[in-house]
A and B are shown apart, each in its own frame.
Chain A
């Protein structure tokens, strides 16, 4: 044990108070620009279509169908001949049961839709990262089993988020174990938490400016800000509250990360026939009031969606986006098995996404 400890101390090298410039991989406050770093990782690759990027992030207000759309996007990637990884974040997998898999965690598993699925937790990613840096399992365990460290890790703000982003981008940054997948679709948390996650690297840099964690954070941030590397799909419903939240979220993401953005309006409920036809039917005396009420209900829903659609398009235009090319709509699929719904949504998305980049 004491030999290993000695070699660790040697490995770590740094004496307290040593010149920070001696630290490996510095960067520093006036280091290479963010876009410069990203270009290093990406080379000259230009995306051929919206999905032709290493990281497609999917977010939106809670409850609108983010995960569903993320799965449809991953399925579309498969159709395009790519082998994406669908990444869930958090402690529990949403798709596990749906896809008929047991225990989805840190290791990818193949799904019936042809893509691989994984669920990364902050703690899991952090452990991997520390193990990679400290190399020796015994030392790593000493690190995590130490009460002080555990307490700190539990409370440290943003640490979990950074660990996940770090793992996500590790392949491109050539850090850590090899990643089998070049393309990832990430089922992000809902808008507020997604923003917190995206801001975590910069947040860390305010507290830590030197050392491997700082330079890694700098690189992660560079990739998030690189339009050729990362894009955001925002899922919404054609309802007032989700549309408002979507516009606020899009504004923030554009402003802080300059990410290419695509909107998916989910679960739309178009009336089964044009309004004039339905009105004629309602006017007919053969109907009883219940049926009229039912038809009116569908028409009202259609109307309110039209208003929400208008608000969404207008809001996007004000943010400098073109709704004709950056919005797709997926109808509500009634009483359909989940995997079927994902396949159908995939077809809808194919039409819209293959014309933008």
Chain B
């Protein structure tokens, strides 16, 4: 992968964050300097990466020294590689952004006090999308890293966050915000604004309706908000445009994470289409938990039962096991059919990685390292995984 930016997208519960971390570690193993930006990592993963969830500092992810991990070959390590990780703090990113671009100190303080701003910068829905992208942009511009990986927020719809720049851009257009310009500090100009001729009739009425719904104080806060923000709206728009440019650039690749589950595969199909429609570059599709069961090549329970002889209790147990196997096998077949159909519809240029399910959850950095190590193998498995008919065995490497 030659990209400088990777964006991991996918529906909830597919292991996106773990994969983003694993990709970062893999980059490190290949001798690159990588940064993984996460929004909401589980505590265990955060610990594994050496992250302190209470702040958004960039931390070095602990690296394994050669002699403590016998399974990893010396050739896989490059001394130049480093991987860093950081948790995105929405409120802080918002505030940092304001402080950087607003020149007037009084204005900054006024904005920080404004209720609308406070809501906007702290509510989940409002802030994560904007700040995740802002952090990504800042990191890629800083050129401190060869690769920046963004683990996207678990929004209701996996690609919601991508439209955040557009929404912000449309809100902070001059044609809209100029109506809220406050030439003087006099609060009563709110009244003159709403009853005078400054606004088009439609806008005036709309605002009065809003006022009836929300009360005069809210309108004041709203107007105050726009007046304060007006001075940084240029930068807001510029940043939003820069983000969009970055996402569409040749340097940026998308990684779609999904899992071996019919519902998730359907969602992934949908996501793939949306990415294509918006012109984003889908590089890799990671199929997580691809081998949920170890299903033996052929289980001849008749033979087993027969060979158990007259030992009835064991035969009874063998029957139960046979029944369990039968159910799982049928389920597996169905899922393989869904997978085959998904793989067929996947753009042939997209690399499909199939990552097996581990019996236990990831415990620490060793597991992440091992997972990262296995990714090239997963690519081979993925390439094989586009057959016309689903294979019966799942015990391939």
Contacts and interface: CB of A to CB of B under 8 A. Distances in A.
A190 B170 contact: no
**Does more than half of chain B's interface fall in helix, strand or loop, or is it mixed?**
helix
Nearest to B127: A157
Given A208-B214, A245-B42, A291-B299, A272 B125 contact: no
A8 interface: yes
B217 A20 contact: yes
Interface stretch (B9-17, B58-66, B134-142, B339-347): B9-17
B218 A287 contact: no
Contacts of A280: 313-314, 317
Contacts of B206: 142-143, 146, 148-149
A304 B360 contact: yes
Sort chain B's interface into a size bin.
35 or more
A212 interface: yes
Given A63-B264, A146-B202, A148-B176, A193 B44 contact: no
Interface string B296-320: 1101000010011001011001101
Contacts of B179: 148
Interface string A294-331: 11011011001000000000000000000000000000
A211 B213 contact: yes
Nearest to B303: A286
A49 B223 CA distance: 49
Interface in B35-67: 40, 42-44
Contact of A133 (B125, B213, B263): B213
Contacts of A146: 202-203, 206
A203 B206 CA distance: 23
Residue of A148, A155, A195, A286 most packed against chain B (CB within 10 A):
A148
A139 B124 CA distance: 32
B124 A155 contact: no
A134 B124 CA distance: 30
A192 B119 contact: no
Interface of B: 11-14, 40, 42-44, 115-116, 118-120, 123-127, 154-157, 167-168, 170-171, 173, 175-176, 179, 188, 190-191, 194-195, 201-203, 205-219, 221-222, 259, 261, 263-264, 293-297, 299, 304, 307-308, 311, 313-314, 317-318, 320-321, 323-325, 327-328, 330-331, 333-334, 359-361
Can you list the 3 inter-chain pairs with the closest CB atoms, starting with the nearest?
Answer: A63-B13, A62-B12, A157-B126
12 contacts: A16-B219, A90-B157, A133-B209, A139-B205, A149-B206, A157-B120, A158-B119, A211-B211, A294-B294, A294-B299, A294-B325, A297-B359
Given A143-B206, A146-B203, A210-B216, 20 more contacts: A16-B211, A16-B216, A63-B12, A63-B259, A91-B157, A147-B175, A155-B120, A157-B125, A160-B125, A192-B124, A206-B118, A211-B211, A241-B361, A272-B323, A280-B313, A290-B296, A291-B299, A298-B321, A304-B360, A335-B333
